Amino acid sequence: MSVATQARAPSGVTWDGINWAKVQRHVRRLQTRMVKATQAGRHNKVKALQWLLTHSFSGKALAVKRVTENQGRNTPGVDKVTWKTPGAKTNAIASLKRRGYSPLPLRRVLIPKKNGKTRPLGIPVMKCRAMQALHLLALEPIAETTADLNSYGFRPERSTADAGGQCFSSLAKKANAQWVLEADIQGCFDKISHDWMLAHVPTDKAVLKKWLKAGFVYQNELFPTEAGAPQGGIISPVLANMTLDGLEARLAEKFPQARRAGLKMHMVRYADDFIITGFSKEWLESEVMPAVVEFLAERGLVLSPEKTKITHITDGFDFLGWNLRKYNGKLLIKPSKANVKAHLDKIREVIKANKTAKQANLIRLLNPILRGWANYHSHVVAKETFARVDAKVWSMLWRWAVRRHPNKGARWVKEKYFKTRGTRNWVFTATEKQEDGTERELTLLKESDTPIQRHVKIKANANPHDPKWEQYFESRWGKKTLNSSRGRVKLYRVWLRQDRLCPTCQEPITKGTPWDVRHIVKRTEGGSDSASNLELHHLDCRRTR
């Protein structure tokens, strides 16, 4: 379908009748062209492609799909409107027009932080969310192409695990840096200069200015916004990332001999938290920090004096919920004490809030918390921490059980709530009846059962919007899928469907033969992750295709 026909909704098309694979293909094709134009330095071409995407039916449809299917879809803005019906979503696509667009102010709510302070969160109305999602489709490919190599926060296909992996690479060896500048930007989202963003962010300036100046409503009072990108906006994380992108290049320009001169400088950034390594405390303090301060000042930002400090690696430092420290010359990354405490506090709150709940319901509430935290730390040195957390959780549950039956003895309480399963005693288990009359057993997850698996860090220059990296990301997706129980079942079905043979060479795929997964219809062209769209190939066969 041509760009001209894609610019408006096909006649009579309803929400349920949209061909999402075709829509996805059209958007990804334009995004791919943006990446190539950005790499070639053709900025006018990039602007033209952005205009095509933000005025296309496909772009608008995907934007509405995103804001009506994410977690905040039922949270209204100041107009108290949400788009729930197919008709409302279809009408929303037609309403996303640049001409005459005037954003409403954000609804502000305050989110408590772990230090006792609050974080302001701005909730836009649905139309503003959709407009931001639309322009994000046209901005993200450029942001990914120009991003700092070691920036990992709020970026597709990147995670805290990748940031942790880069920290390990920069600090683990004996010859690596011994000093670390822990930097934190004070109120980053709230203080970014509007003038700087309007001058440097490659997006529609008129629409961006309207978002930045929309103001917010708090306790029925309207307040103006003179600086910052509102936390809660879909496009805000990318705006913040693009504001901070360039710091790595600035440091490399400022210290061109950093590696050869033995300065051992590396930077790792996750959103507005970052570390910079160096060979000495004095050099980081007198040379590097002033360069960082100068870079941030251009953008209206300052370092937080409370959280910014320089630490020796043998003393250790906390970053992204981990503690990184060298013990007798060996770097270990462990869950930080503060992170463990916050995790146990959350579990304690859930147990206290459910003193009279059924055991099965309590297990349902606790298991996602336990599983999520354990998975987050599953690639660091966490086995001992998991065991300690399990012991603390058992202690909380024992008190919960004993409190419910003050007139019963310990043996009775143990037999009612804690069972023996295999070689294990004291397993917190409940049996409940299903609607069909059968019984189902629910067991509390033990974090110490979570296997520790090394995370393979993403390649620094990998770009999910660049087609030359398609096979790389597909391979990473396959390995990630293989590490989940559901994913293993899915790939096993694909293997059986292929009669256990490689489609290319017709030779058996076994445990001893390296293999990889391939999407029949590429995800960049609208293909799904379902088993019917997957094939398993020998690794060598995959490379020759």
Closest by alpha carbon to 121, among 276, 234, 233?
A: 233
Q: How far apart are the first and last CA of the chain?
A: 28
What element of type H or E holds 477?
Answer: helix 470-482
Q: Which residues are 332's β-sheet partners?
A: 325
Percent of the chain topping pLDDT 70: 94
Helices (H), 235-288: 236-244, 247-254, 281-283
| Backbone angle region of 158, left / alpha / beta, with phi > 0 → left and psi within -120 to 50 → alpha | beta
pLDDT tens column, 327-369: 999 999 999 999 999 999 999 999 999 999 999 999 999 999 9
Q: How many angstroms separate the Cα of 198 from the Cα of each of 127, 204, 242?
A: 22, 9, 12
pLDDT tens column, 449-473: 999 999 999 999 999 999 999 888 8
Closest by alpha carbon to 226, among 193, 197, 202?
A: 193
Going by DSSP bridges, is the β-strand pair 216-218/106-112 parallel, antiparallel, or unpaired?
parallel
Residue 529, pLDDT > 90, answer no
pLDDT band at 433 (very low <50, low <70, confident <90, very high): confident
pLDDT band at 524 (very low <50, low <70, confident <90, very high): low
Q: What is the spatial distance between Cα 67 and Cα 64, in angstroms, rounded to a whole number?
A: 5
Determine contact, residues 463/35, Cβ cutoff 8 Å. yes
User: What average pLDDT does this structure show over 257-270?
Assistant: 81
156: which residues sit within 8 A by CB, 6+ positions away? 140, 144, 464
Q: Give the pLDDT score at 257.
A: 74
DSSP classification of residue 151: B
Q: pLDDT higher for 382 or 5?
A: 382
Q: What is the spatial distance between Cα 400 and Cα 64, in angstroms, rounded to a whole number?
A: 45
pLDDT tens column, 165-196: 999 999 999 989 999 999 989 888 889 999 99
Q: How many angstroms separate the Cα of 219 from the Cα of each of 72, 77, 129, 323, 334?
A: 21, 13, 22, 40, 42
Q: Exposed/middle/buried for 26, CB within 10 Å: 0-12, 13-18, 19+? A: buried
Residue 3, pLDDT > 50, answer no
